[in-house]
Amino acid sequence: MKKVIPFAHDLLEQTINPGDIAIDATCGNGHDTLVLSKLVGDKGTVFAFDIQNQAIERTKQLLDQASVQNVQLHMVDHQYAPDYISEEDYGRIGGAIFNLGYLPGSDKQTITTPESTIAAVDSIAALLKQGGLIAIVVYYGHQGGEREKQALLDYVSSLDQKKFSVLQYAFINQQNNPPFLLAVQKRK
């Protein structure tokens, strides 16, 4: 069985087409940004966000090493993501990914919060193309993580089933709170 992150990437690969727009809502170390960059290709664009300078710098470095040129990096809260995308491009948004929690390798003081995360998921979900998908990798072992997890589960469970399919993909016999996936797909 696929682990959580490879499974999330598989889902995004199935929904993001070359030429699409994709969003990395929490670019972190840039690994997902690079994955999305390949999926949208030369004619597509990735919008990547993070509130931490350290994350923006690491992502920039990774993208430079790979000579990637189709990514726009913004150091801003992901709930404002739609402000950075032209309205005429909204219909091209094929997918987005969130990694909740803290930046790996950081001091763990800066974490995602339920209010900002839900606002961001909500605004991006509204703009997705038909069939487009948001993958949310939920880390929740840190302080504040349980609260964010519960708030997010409540939010996505309440999404109208006529408009969205919401999948939970979780390994449930593991210790140490491993991350699980929530996938929100806009129905066709």
Interface ranges with its own copies (CB under 8 A)? 1, 11, 133, 153, 156-161, 164-175, 183, 185
In this structure, what DSSP letter does residue 128 have?
Answer: P
Nearer to its own copies, 90 or 164 (CB): 164
Give min distance, CB of 171 to its own copies, in A: 6
Q: What Å distances lie between residue 18 and 12, 44, 94, CA to CA?
A: 12, 6, 9
Nearer to its own copies, 23 or 152 (CB): 152
Give min distance, CB of 15 to its own copies, in A: 9
Segment holding 184, helix H or strand E? strand 180-186
- From the CA atom positions of the chain, what is the Rg in Å? 15
Q: By the 8 A CB rule, do 49 and 74 touch?
A: yes
Give min distance, CB of 125 to its own copies, in A: 12
d(CA 99, CA 140): 10
Give min distance, CB of 80 to its own copies, in A: 26
Residue in 2, 44, 52, 33 with CA at minimum distance from that of residue 96: 33
Nearer to its own copies, 16 or 103 (CB): 16
Residue 157 CB neighbour total at 10 angstroms: 10
Nearer to its own copies, 10 or 64 (CB): 10
Give min distance, CB of 128 to its own copies, in A: 14
Nearer to its own copies, 86 or 173 (CB): 173
d(CA 69, CA 46): 10
